[in-house]
Structure formats: structure tokens, C-alpha cells
Amino acid sequence: MGIFGFFNRKSGRGKDAAPNKETSDSIAQPLAQRAPPPAASETGNEQVDRGRLAVAARADATARKIDAIESEMSSEFGTQPPPLRAEAGPPTNAVKQPAQTPVSFEATLPSLGMSTEFLLGVEGKTIPVPIEIVSSEASQAVEEAAILFANGQPTELVEEMLRSAIAEESPAQGTRDAWHMLFDLYQISGQQLQFESLSIDYVGRFETSPPSWRRASPSPVTEDQAGAVPTIAFSGKLDNNIIKLLERTVRAGETHKTLRLDFSRLTEVAPVGCGLLLRVLKRLQGSQHELVLVGANILKDKTRAILQVGRRDESEAPWLLLLEVQRLLHQEQEFEETSMDYCVTFEVSPPAFEISGSKVTTVQADGAAAQESGEGFLLPKVIEGSCESLMTELSIFARDHAPLVLDCARLDRMDFSAAGQLLGVLTPLAGNGQEIELRNVNYLVAALFRVMGIHEIARVLPRKV
């Protein structure tokens, strides 16, 4: 089975699939079939004419090299890949904003005086670990807000508690955490205007940049989509040597609908590697795979570093990859600036910014935090009530993975009962000396973990802001 044949077969395109659009006739053509730029006029400088022809020849050679590599990979499995096409869409000033779906939860808040048996539920009775509310550095309002949110109380009540916490003039960490919890509350409930208003207040209070708004994924992640996620780590130079990594990506995609691509250890990029990676990213999205991108900003910066406006190098693939990454990161302003530079450089119509239709989660990472982006157990969007199957899968995963890493990048909310069951699974592991880390935790869930005492047996690493 070919690397690109697999994605074409899995793409599920049918009558409901949107047709593939093109930025221009020039962009839509296969790279290897590009016509050279128009020759200089008869009255032009012959040296300029020769220079443009040389650039066109190098671009054609690079495009043919990318096509040849793909052809060799595909012929090994008996399938020929389709040519690369650039995404296109309606004019930039007609971008359609996605509808925001309000989040509503059923009121199930237990009082702090409730027994452990109630908090754990019937299934939790078999877990021989007592649950108690422990003290934390956060204020009482922060703790109560975390409990309200965890148990599905109305957003307005949680917001009121957090507003009362941030109204304090104390510079304590608990007060600052309340700000980040409120940012997460607005993010999860889709309240972008309130998020932006809070950002202005945050800058005035702390004199530093606020968290960035992240567009919500098109659909929720269920418990069935949780578990161990294959990780493909790109390190060193992104060039034609990434073939083996792309083959691993294909094989992993045959059995997993969620893949993690890690670029945190990337040092530089080359046009051929950019072209190969771009084609795989597009086909992964076309085949409805969910992507978790670690260190996507590093990939973006390394790609931008080799570009220069007005200079036509070996290929336009790095430009198209940069635009694709900016689109996946929802960086619309940067996308528009890059598209104009791309338009000037290659004398084509600029592509339009479009919201990705696939489910993409981005995890920030840099050189200092690269060790935090390894493969782990990916938790679902919401965990509540009885989650015995998830905890069983986690226990099995923990047997062969030390240290145990739980990736909470997609986790929005965990209720009290589920948190108690999680503590019941993790406590024996910690007692046996196994290291445990919960990474990319939003601040609402991190506060709940402190209340439950999970932070005493595991490292809880909040999301970077």
C-alpha cells in the first residue's frame, strides 16, 4: 500500500466532501510540470534573462526530486501519488467564521462535606484509596471554582467565583492562577469577546503578554479516542531523509485515527523536506486524521528562516508549508502577511485563509521543553462519571511506560468522580516508585488536581501560556 494511496483511499471523499480549491492555475499544477517564468523581453538584459531561466531550472529540478522520491516510495507499495496542490478559497476579506457552540453542563456539585464514597461513585468503592480535600496554595475561591467547574455547574457561577479571586490585590500565585483559570473558562465555553476583554485587563495588571485565543476543534473528543497515541518525532534537518518517518506515519495511520507529530527537536529545513512534509500534512487532514502538533512554532520559524521576499529559490514548497502551518495554528494575521510576500515573490494570486476542517491540537514546545513532548497517554476532552474502561487502559499502558506520561492537551474537564478514580489508579504506581507526569493541563483541571491531592504523587505541568 502506497504512502499516498493510503490517504486517498481513507479520505472518505464523497458527495458531502468539499471540492479541492486552487489558489491559481499556476499553483494547481504539479511541481514537476511547472512552466518556467516568462523570458525577458527582446529589449531586456540578457544576463537577467539567463538568471531567471537558471532559477526556473533549479525549481524544476527540486520539484522533480520531490516527485521522484514520492514515486519511489509509492512504487514500493504499488501506488502512484497524486500531485501537490495548494489550498485555495474565497477572498481573504470574506473569511467565514466558525459558529461557536456554547458549553452547558448538568449541575452535579457535591458539597465539600460529602463522603469519599459519594465522590467516587459506586464504581469507586472498590478503589482502596481515601479521597480528601487537601489544602493548596490557591485561595478558597479558586478551589471552589475548580470544584464547581469539575462537576458541571453553570459557567456564570464559576466565572463569579474567579472574578472575586482576581479582584484581590494580592500578588500571590493563587491569584494569578485564577486569571489563567478564567481564561480557560472563556476558552472552553467559546466566549471570545470576554477572553479578549480579560486580556486587556491582564496586560494592565501584570505587564506581560496574555494567553492566546485558540479556536475550538470542530467536534468533541470522546473516551473512545483516548489512549496511547503514536508519536513521530522530526529531529535534525528536515530533508529527503525524512522518508522513513513518513512511512512510519502511514503505518501508524492505518491503526490510529490520532497521530502526534513532534517538531520540537527540529534544527533546520530544506525545500525537498518541506515539500514532502506538506503533502503528508494535507493528506492526513484529508483522511480525517486528528493531529496533535508539538512544537509547530519551531517548524514555522525554521521554515521562515530560509525564505526571502522576491527571491525564487529551488522551490515554492517552503512558502506553502509556512502558510499551511500558520493556518493550522490559526494565525490569520501572519498568514495574510506571508501570503502577500508569497504573491510578490511568485507573481500569483495570494491564497485565502481558511479554518482547518480537521481536528488539530497544537502543543507549545521549545528547546528547553523538548523532553516534555514525548509519547504519552492522551486523555479525552471530557471525563466524567464511570470511566472504568479508560482507567483499565491507563493501567495497562502504565505497565510498559516509565515514567508514565498523561497528555492532557485535549482535556477540558474532569469531574470529581473521575478524578477520584484517576487518583486510585495513580497512587499504587507512585507507591511503587514509578514517576508520573500530567502534561499540558489547563488551569481549571490543574486546580482540581491540587484539591484532590494528585499533585502530591505526580508532577502536574500546566499548559504554556
Residues across the chain: 465
Q: Is the dihedral of CA 41, 44, 47, 52 positive or negative?
A: negative
Same domain, 140 and 198: yes
461 domain residue, yes or no = yes
Same domain, 352 and 241: yes
Which of 133-142, 268-277, 344-353 has the highest average model confidence (pLDDT)? 268-277
- The Cα–Cα gap between 384 and 228 comes to 20
Same domain, 218 and 270: no
Q: Domain span at residue 65?
A: 3-8+23-32+44-90+230-363
Same domain, 307 and 336: yes
Same domain, 211 and 308: no
Same domain, 359 and 386: no
Q: Give residue-wise pLDDT tens across range 337-349.
A: 999 999 999 988 8
Higher pLDDT, 463 or 186: 186
Same domain, 203 and 261: no
Can you tell me the mean pLDDT for 32-51?
52
Q: Looking at 332, 363, 394, which one is the last position of a domain?
A: 363
Question: What DSSP line would sit under 160-178, residue for residue?
Answer: HHHHHHHTS----HHHHHH
Tell me which residue of 408, 303, 312, 302 sits closest to 363, measured CA to CA: 408
Same domain, 300 and 322: yes
406 domain residue, yes or no = yes
Same domain, 393 and 330: no
102 domain residue, yes or no = no
pLDDT band for position 118 (50/70/90)?
Answer: very low
86 domain residue, yes or no = yes
Q: Give residue-wise pLDDT tens across range 385-440.
A: 888 888 988 998 888 888 899 989 889 999 999 999 999 999 999 999 999 999 99
Three-state DSSP class for 361? Answer: strand
Residue percentage of the chain with pLDDT more than 70: 64
Residue 200 confidence (pLDDT) above 70: yes
Three-state DSSP class for 262? Answer: strand
Same domain, 253 and 177: no
Q: Looking at 363, 385, 402, which one is the last position of a domain?
A: 363
- The Cα–Cα gap between 127 and 417 comes to 12
Same domain, 143 and 206: yes
95 domain residue, yes or no = no
- The Cα–Cα gap between 353 and 326 comes to 9
CB 327 within 8 A of CB 350: no
- The Cα–Cα gap between 72 and 149 comes to 53
106 domain residue, yes or no = no
Tell me which residue of 406, 419, 407, 384 sits closest to 134, measured CA to CA: 419
Tell me which residue of 318, 316, 259 sits closest to 283, measured CA to CA: 259
Higher pLDDT, 7 or 455: 455
18 domain residue, yes or no = no
* The predicted structure's pLDDT at residue 51: 60
Q: Looking at 315, 333, 363, which one is the last position of a domain?
A: 363
* The predicted structure's pLDDT at residue 365: 57
Residue 85 confidence (pLDDT) above 60: no
462 domain residue, yes or no = yes
Same domain, 61 and 122: no
Cell 461557536 locates to 100
Structural domain count, the chain: 2
Cell 497528555 locates to 407
